Amino acid sequence: MTEVRVNASGAYDILIGNNLLDSCGELCAQAVKPCKTCIVSDDTVAALYLERAEKSLKSAGFETVSFVFPHGEGSKTMDTIINIVEFLAENRLTRTDCLIALGGGVVGDMCGFAAAIYLRGIKFIQIPTTLLSAVDSSVGGKTGVDLRAGKNLAGAFHQPSLVICDYSTLDTLPDETFADGCAEVIKYGVINDRNFFFKLDGGIKEQIEEVIADCVRNKRDVVEEDEFESGKRQLLNLGHTIGHAIELCSNLEISHGSAVAIGMVIVMRAAVKYGICPAEDLEALISMLEKHGLPTSCTFTAKQLAAVATADKKRKGNDITLVIPHSIGDTRLCKLPISELENFINKGL
């Protein structure tokens, strides 16, 4: 088992290992005193893992209730959040109790946001069951829900008390869902770790514990320096502004990971055309994404994508901050006037 310590506004451990779910109760009890806990999950994950998690938690002295909602981005709404916090109140969870997110990125974001606002904040623990949530969304304390105008436009920073990453749960993922996580893994290499990027030529599944640990350490370092995303942490949004627009233009039919993959290609191709990124790095990115089963293009126009992207939370007044690759391993923040966004995307397409 690999352990990574995060020292943010709240310090916590990330535990990465095989078959940790059956001992999750014992591990949770080392971070949170046994109490009443609500396991938040979706119907897909609950059918696979909820019973095992409950059994382990109860054997460690926790009292458990569970809230299960329909899987998918379509459930990531304020209506679901209201239902969760009403359920917590009905079951009389107190400030000394905690929530446990058992699932992927949607579950973790929703559970974390509910924990942030219920009784003005209670503890929560992340048990990610997808590669995407293991390497990205379960770490760093960003929580939130989607609004009609865009993704993750409501939320809070709320650090977990513990993250338990049992990568045996990844064995039940459909190939396309595993690929979604690969997009976030590849993203870390493009942002600031060229050696890590090319290490992925050896395969992600083949070195899964090491890959997850490298990604988590990478994100840990950024979060510790800029927890509330006022500077360097914005680099982690590589591909996300345009990626979120792609998701919304597709009515969520294009998954988050696939959209981020396409978004990374668009911004890097634009950077190549502006003469600030080598063309061979774009070719390397496209090759790496395709090797891991990810798309690299979409059919939407620059006008369509820009119209949606202008509602992104990274917009400030008449400007929007984009993450621009100067090479694989070197990305920088660039403030772009909203009036130039469509042309920038057009170059990337």
Per-residue pLDDT tens digits for 262-311: 999 999 999 999 999 999 999 999 999 999 999 999 999 999 999 999 88
Beta bridge partners of 163: 14, 126
The residues that bridge with 63 in the sheet, in sequence order, are: 36
pLDDT band at 313 (very low <50, low <70, confident <90, very high): low
Q: Is the pLDDT of residue 257 over 90?
A: yes
Domain boundaries, the chain: 2-172, 175-348
Side chain identity at 336, as an amino acid letter?
L
Strands 315-316 vs 319-327: parallel, antiparallel or unpaired: antiparallel
CATH superfamily of 175-348: Dehydroquinate synthase-like - alpha domain (1.20.1090.10)
pTM over cut 0.85: yes
Say which residue the tokens 């971070």 belong to. 31
The pLDDT of residue 74 is above 80: yes
Q: How many CB atoms lie within 10 A of CB 318?
A: 9
Fold match between 2-172 and 175-348?
no
pLDDT above 80 (res 316): no
pLDDT digits (tens, 9 = 90+) for 38-48: 999 999 999 99
Question: 2-172: what fold?
Answer: Rossmann fold (3.40.50)
Contact status, residue 104 vs residue 132, Cβ threshold 8 Å = yes
Angle at which helices 279-291 and 256-273 cross, to 10°: 160
Q: Which residues are catalytic?
A: 120, 142, 184, 219, 229, 233, 237, 240, 244, 256
Phi, psi dihedrals of residue 178, rounded to the nearest 5°:
-60, -40
Residue 162 burial by Cβ neighbours in a 10 Å radius (0-12, 13-18, 19+):
buried
Helix H or strand E encompassing 13: strand 11-17
Residues 6+ apart with CB under 8 A from 338: 310, 315, 318, 319, 320
Does the structure show a pLDDT above 70 at 235?
yes
